[in-house]
Amino acid sequence: MGQNVGDLGEFGLLARIAARLNETDQPDDGRVVVGPGDDAAVVTVPDGRVVVTTDMLVDGRHFRRDWSSAYDIGRRAAAANLADVVAMGADPVALVVGLALPSDTEVAWVTGLTDGLRDECAELGATVVGGDIVRGDLIVISGTALGDLGGRKPILRSGAHPGDTVAVAGRLGWAAAGLTVLRRGFRSPRVLADAHRRPDPPYAAALAAARGPVTAMADISDGLVADAGHLAAASGVSIELVKSQLPVAKELLEAAAAFNVDPLNWVLTGGDDHGFVATFTKRRKLPAGFIAIGVVVEGAGQVLVDGEPYANQGGHDHFRD
Amino acid sequence: MGQNVGDLGEFGLLARIAARLNETDQPDDGRVVVGPGDDAAVVTVPDGRVVVTTDMLVDGRHFRRDWSSAYDIGRRAAAANLADVVAMGADPVALVVGLALPSDTEVAWVTGLTDGLRDECAELGATVVGGDIVRGDLIVISGTALGDLGGRKPILRSGAHPGDTVAVAGRLGWAAAGLTVLRRGFRSPRVLADAHRRPDPPYAAALAAARGPVTAMADISDGLVADAGHLAAASGVSIELVKSQLPVAKELLEAAAAFNVDPLNWVLTGGDDHGFVATFTKRRKLPAGFIAIGVVVEGAGQVLVDGEPYANQGGHDHFRD
């Protein structure tokens, strides 16, 4: 066993974290006016409007330390927040992180987490600018990301119109398939287990969409049907998905055959890949990375798959799983 | 027992919370561009720089539900964040809140917490604009507050110069005295127990200071000696406090006599009142609400009380209490 946070103490731990954040990967482009160490951080948002979102991960529910490395958990915690900022059409600027830790947490776990948070942010030119560390009986990671709209209008869930094309970017169902793999005690297919451990949100595709003919967009965190449903409800429309157009990766087909399950269930209900579902003005070229999967129709917030409601439409309920 | 969050489900709970937030007290001055319900919120920060801070509270460590109402815990969770924004000299604009809840948490507890968060924000014209709710085996409240600098420079901890006057605003040691009262099984003096339950940060004094001859400022959350020490260390100076100038309230003197403890220990080491310690250019009039308690001298981050280091100088360490 390595040194734990109880041995090191709060101020020693903060110094270790600061050292990781100051490694080469943190962007230094003048956007961070005041970094960690004061009462608060200060970052520039030239737009004059700031996009803000928060996401909490609890040990044993949202991640398992025997399944995922601290580094991957950090990447995932950051990605969950950054994807929400990007889903608004904004460029992520900064992340702050609240962390509850038991005293026996290894220091190496915390520094690994920090590296993951930092590196996921760096992919988008964003910076970890502060946080809070407290003792708790279980590990809780609470991230809050800020973004800048760059003069553009925010892309809301409420902008879809009948006739719009529905499209998705990113993996669908991979993280859910990976969770099935891990829950059944397997470590492979590795590519699926890894998809659960660390999402790979198609940030660039969503940010390109925000500059184009997009009418509405949402991060897929509760599953395609559930999140398309949120978008449909907010827009006062319904959405018709075409089963044959849904991307079902060969990796999912193979795993589904091995586990004797329907791969479409992963694709339609799996969260945690942090892909994006968006609607686009009809007959306009979709941005790179998006594929059409259906159309927006008149309606009252329903999502239909080949004309039928999908059984599991309610999506994930944190208090009823 | 009333209805609990497991009965109501995540989406029902979110609807209840939204209803509380939409009650009369949420300011509507055009600063909230996008409120709760989308992937992220959007708020205006006309300055183009946003101040951001995060603070996490864990049930049983930072609050006890048998000592404090949900409403008071909400006020306190918001105050802990808002005081940090104000300590930077910024006007709080918005708060987002991550919340881990066991399924058996009563819905009334969550709505009470929400009311407290909302009302503390409203005192400063700020708004609760979003959050995340997840299931967890214990209650964790993670707030993140945003502020706008209004064209002013941020007030850092690092700006103190030898010769500056050291001053404080707000209660010192009241919350710590209240904690002693509650820990020993008493409910009175009520005014002290209440000071633990709900801080009353002197926001207006600190915001006035930010517009005056202040050189450095910090929120007092770890205790006066510890936070003055952070300020001294960041500024590369030392601080000499004068014991006879420290405000020791009559309520503290009486309680200290009853408990046979030294009231100065509460004043010098008690956190959680969220007062402010600041330094001001010599011979300039202090802003209303601040009282002089010492001077800044050449040095290496020490805090001396009547020329001596104070025994408990290290302050509170979350992992070693």
**Model pLDDT, residue B25:** 54
Give the angle A273-A277-A279 at the CA atoms, nearest 5°.
Answer: 170
Higher pLDDT among residues B56 and B312, named by residue: B56
Question: What pLDDT sits at residue B320?
Answer: 60
Q: So what's the ipTM on this one?
A: 0.94
The residues with which A22 forms a beta bridge, in sequence order, are none
Q: Each residue of A31-53: b (16+ CB within 10 Å) or e? A: bbbbbbebbbbbbbbebbbbbbb
Dihedral (CA of B233, B234, B240, B243) sign:
negative
CA distance A320 to chain B (A): 6
Model confidence at A109: pLDDT above 80: yes
Name, in order, each residue with C-beta under 8 angstroms of B210's C-beta and a sequence gap of 6 or more. Answer: B86, B88, B89, B90, B152, B155, B217
Average predicted confidence (pLDDT) for chain A: 93
- At the fourth CATH level, the homologous superfamily of domain B5-148 is PurM-like, N-terminal domain (3.30.1330.10)
Q: Across chain A, how many H-helices and E-strands are there?
A: 10, 13
Boundaries of every domain in chain B: 5-148, 157-309
d(CA A114, CA A97): 10
Q: How far is A224 from chain B (nearest CA, A)?
A: 14
Which residue is closest to B131 within chain A, CA to CA? A54
Name which CATH class applies to B157-309: alpha beta
Asked if residue A321 has pLDDT above 60, the reply is: no
Q: Residue A49 in contact with residue B42, Cβ under 8 Å?
A: yes
Domains A5-148 and A157-309 share a fold: no
CB contacts under 8 A, B 50-109 vs A, are 50-58, 61-62, 84-85, 87-88, 90, 94, 96-101, 103
Contacts of A156 in chain B (CB under 8 A): 34, 38
DSSP structure class, residue A139 = -
- Please tell me the predicted confidence (pLDDT) of residue A313: 47
pTM summary value = 0.95
Taking only the tens place, the pLDDT of each residue in A153-180 is 999 999 999 999 999 999 999 999 999 9
Q: Please report the pLDDT score of residue A318 as a whole number.
A: 64
Query: Are A58 and B100 inside 8 Å of each other by CB?
Result: yes
Are B39 and A136 within 8 A, CB to CB?
no
8 A C-beta contact, residue A180 and residue A196: no
| A291 pLDDT higher than 50 | yes
What residues 276-315 of chain B have any CB closer than 8 A to a CB of chain A?
A: none
**Alpha carbon distance B307, B144 (integer Å):** 38
Mean pLDDT of B169-187: 95
Among A129, A111, A140, A118, smallest CA distance to A43 is for: A129
For residue B283, give both structure tokens. Answer: 């011979």
Quick check: B50 and A49 CB within 8 A? no
Q: Is the pLDDT of residue B254 over 70?
A: yes
Per DSSP, B158 falls in state G
The answer to whether residues B287 and B167 touch, using CB atoms and an 8 Å cutoff, is no
Give the pLDDT band of residue B1 (cuts 50, 70, 90).
Answer: low
Q: DSSP character for A59?
A: B
Q: How confident is the model at residue B314 (pLDDT cuts 50, 70, 90)?
A: very low
Q: In this predicted model, what pLDDT tens digit does every residue of A173-222 receive, in sequence order?
A: 999 999 999 999 999 999 999 999 999 999 999 999 999 999 999 999 99
Nearest by CB to A156, from B38, B87, B318: name it.
B38
Say if residue B274's pLDDT is above 90.
Answer: yes
Side by side, which strands form the sheet with B49-58?
A32-34, A41-44, B49-58, B140-148, B91-101, B127-135
| B279 phi-psi bin (left φ>0, alpha ψ -120 to 50, beta other) | beta
Asked whether the beta carbons of residue B134 and residue A57 sit closer than 8 angstroms, the reply is yes
Q: To the nearest whole angstrom, how far is the Cα of A33 from the nearest Cα of chain B?
A: 8
CA torsion A215→B130→A320→A80, rounded to 10°?
70
Q: Categorize the per-residue pLDDT at B313 as very low, low, confident or very high, splitting at 50, 70 and 90.
A: very low
Q: Does B157 touch chain A (CB under 8 A)?
A: yes
Which of A7, A8, A50, A134 has the most B C-beta neighbours within 10 Å, making it the best mutation to test the interface with B?
A50
Task: For residue range A81-101, list pLDDT tens digits in order.
Answer: 999 999 999 999 999 999 999
